[in-house]
Amino acid sequence: MRPLSYEPPTTPAAAPRVVPGRARRARKTWCWSRCEGRPAPEPRDHPHREGVAQAPRTPVRCTCYPRLVSALQPSLFDDAERPTLAPVDPRRTTLDRGAWVDLHPGWVSGGDTVLDDLVREVPWHAERRQMYDRVLDVPRLTKFYGEHEPLPHPLVEQARTALSAHYRDELGEDFVTAGLCLYRDGRDSVAWHGDRIGRSREQDTMVAIISLGAQRVLALRPRDGGPSTRLPLGHGDLVVMGGSCQRTWDHSVPKAAAVSGPRISIQLRVRGVR
């Protein structure tokens, strides 16, 4: 299987702005484990994983990052470019087993303010899961927006509309839900999995992901064995996993020790798929 091709974005807006000399300070002041103190909830059975129990989601207001931005980067977003979407023109790579991946580097420009707004304003949830004899913090924050819920930012609404229009003939329906994940730094991650809750367990579908913030790797591997593929996603990149990808492949975002900045993943899905 050939690896996914990737060309780093060449436009200045494709990479998040960096303030020289401040990355180390940001790493020290980032509240990674818990943004605010909260009691450990009682675990409950997870309906979709054997042998795993999941505690109820706990709302968390992420207070550490806004303070960090205010203290270290008071004028970072004053002259930021207005967020815009390019025409949808991805490059498709065909995988094995009926799966494929579309990639559009730098689809979102001017995403700095969007990243900041989402980190500040989204009511992020922290989860805890029981793994055998221990209850562990899930290493990321999440928020899910259902079909009839207002989305947290105009750009997310625009992206959902644009992607629905582009893929409607092939997909046969529109994207209707949005799931957000906040990776606070390189210690946050997501393990190997497929979005197989609901119809996607038996049917082909699409999951569109918009990446904002620090570059992180999206890794993919066949469920029945085989070499994995690593796809670096940068600030403003769009990736769409389609065909049988959720059934026949797994994907993950591995830990990255060298990454100190935050990343938000915006996942758009159709009805009945999680």
Distance CA 28, CA 72 (A): 13
Cβ-proximal residues to 138 (8 Å cutoff; 6+ apart), any chain: 126, 127, 128, 129
3-class SS of residue 120: helix
Q: Which two tokens stand for residue 17?
A: 């702005």
Decide if 73 is inside a domain: no
Average pLDDT value for residue range 86-100: 97
pLDDT at residue 2 greater than cutoff 90: no
Domain region containing 94: 81-125+139-269
Give the number of other CB atoms < 10 A from CB of residue 126: 21
One-letter amino acid of 149: E
How confident is the model at residue 171, as a pLDDT? Answer: 98
Pairing of strands 216-222, 84-85: unpaired
Say which CATH number the domain at 220 has.
2.60.120.590
Residue 226 belongs to some domain of the structure: yes
Are 214 and 247 a contacting pair, CB within 8 Å? no
76 three-class SS: coil
Does residue 231 contact residue 4 with C-beta atoms inside 8 Å? yes
Token duo for residue 204: 């082909």
Cα–Cα distance, 173 to 175 (Å, whole number): 7
What is the predicted pLDDT for the residue at 102? Answer: 99
Provide the number of structural domains found in the chain. Answer: 1
In a domain, 96, yes or no: yes
Q: Give the tens place of pLDDT for each residue, 13-72.
A: 444 444 444 443 333 334 544 455 444 344 444 444 444 445 555 555 555 555 445 433
Query: Which segment of 132-141, 147-156, 232-241, 246-255 scores lowest on mean pLDDT?
Result: 132-141
In a domain, residue 148? The reply is yes
240-271 per-position pLDDT tens digit: 999 999 999 999 999 999 999 999 999 999 99
Under the banding of pLDDT at 50, 70 and 90, the label for residue 78 is very low
pTM (whole model) above 0.85: no
**Is position 40 within any domain?**
no
| 205-228: pLDDT as tens digits | 999 999 999 999 999 999 999 999
Asked if residue 36 belongs to a domain, the reply is: no
In a domain, 87, yes or no: yes
